Structure 1
């Protein structure tokens, strides 16, 4: 058994946006990380809440980035949503699609009839991310739901990571309908629900999977819900301050700056790190306050501080006692 973190697992399930790529640009080291896993015969899967691409398109995009992927290894919230609707509705039922062509294609392939207007009397509305979603289709969806159509959202991620910073995600578009209708969707299919992860594990016949994600509220929360270990990488949406304030339902097993953490000892990524000093850093706790001193790897400091904040110290109770600590807390906006 390999002594590094990844060596303890028989399947690694990657989120995509913020972990492997940003929109359509690969994150440094992602291709090498996946290649190393494949070289040691560790199964790999990809689970994404982004409903704007079909599994085959995602696999082609990844392969084009130098991250080899087969369509069967990709699980999307679009495919999962269409499968759920196909289970609940008679074949051929009209479904109003709010989102990209990929979601429409998934609905059609599932044996249902995609439509675009409330006047088509849809029995369900399925809503996923699409860069061209606008007022007209949201209006039709609102009218259809008011008329009694079931409302299914592929996911509720408020933002999408990008090289320019966070962009509005499907959750922001769902919020438009939630405000107009004064109600929540009848069903949210993707993460933080556990289905994408449990399906990936089942397909790979994995007994001990690891989930790798960049979002606490979807990737990590979904892994916790599925009873799986997880690694948070700091290359996407959730940052150090988010991790320090994380609710118990959103706390990862490990944290690393990027995917290279998969190939270091698990003990170097385990969170929280319950010690007074490590890696050049020292923490001193006094009741509801904690002081960080020294210098070193920022992730080590983060793991040390999680031990304090996860046991009752508020973010406002973190202070610095060295120049490096002050610089680090400032970068984390603490």
Structure 2
């Protein structure tokens, strides 16, 4: 008990010493330099963004988080809680005000027509990513073939009468529908480079949200190893917890982007439902006994309809991440269930 007052006195004396004041001043300068470095590096990463070979995300996410993770860990390693808190706050600010804004702008392009308002530099950058997508993925059409998605030709293909398309043999084994289950089906159709860019954009948002969680876990472990004082650890934990807010913002934007991406498919999905009624209907509501018996083994509506869905969804399996492709399939299934009902 007697040691506690002495420790308090020592801390007050140390806090007023010239050495501690110099350390605080240096920590402030260090924090400002780290902030400037992170802002510049993020701006540069956005400017030189490119599609990485064999990847479903562009380079901006990896480049930005590499720098931010290094800066945050370096600040924690100083052992100065004020310095570490300051840099962690800068990390949150850069993610929210720089990277999030950029990715939000890209997701905002989903479903828009060609008459969008972007500066020439950004327009050229997006076109470059579209060309890279067309070169890397064979099912992606060149950017020059991109269509005005405000019309019924959303996602790079006209809303056609899919009941007239040959889907293989007339038997149950004529069409591979595995794409509807796990995204591994054959690529029997194409999407525009612009639509592939939309997929790339939501992939980037998903990757950013995952990276925020990784950075948070890394910093929590670093703090546990470096700081013994409970008050300092609690102060840092409070700052690091702000990363949860940043991650939630990315996840909300991801949900919005996926909703818009699936909505852009609706013209072609409605066309696929044309096999049920209208001039191109193949569904018969009055069956003979022989036709009724045949339907038990081979239902023409099911096979034609699933084949049409494969043509619409299969190209996205290569461009979207597996998790997002499954999300797309579930959303499309829900939409079609409502339309059929």
Larger strand percent: 1
Bigger RCO (CA 8 Å, 6+ sep): 2
Q: TM-score, normalised by structure 1?
A: 0.25
Q: TM-score, normalised by structure 2?
A: 0.25
Bigger CA radius of gyration = 2
Larger helix percent: 2
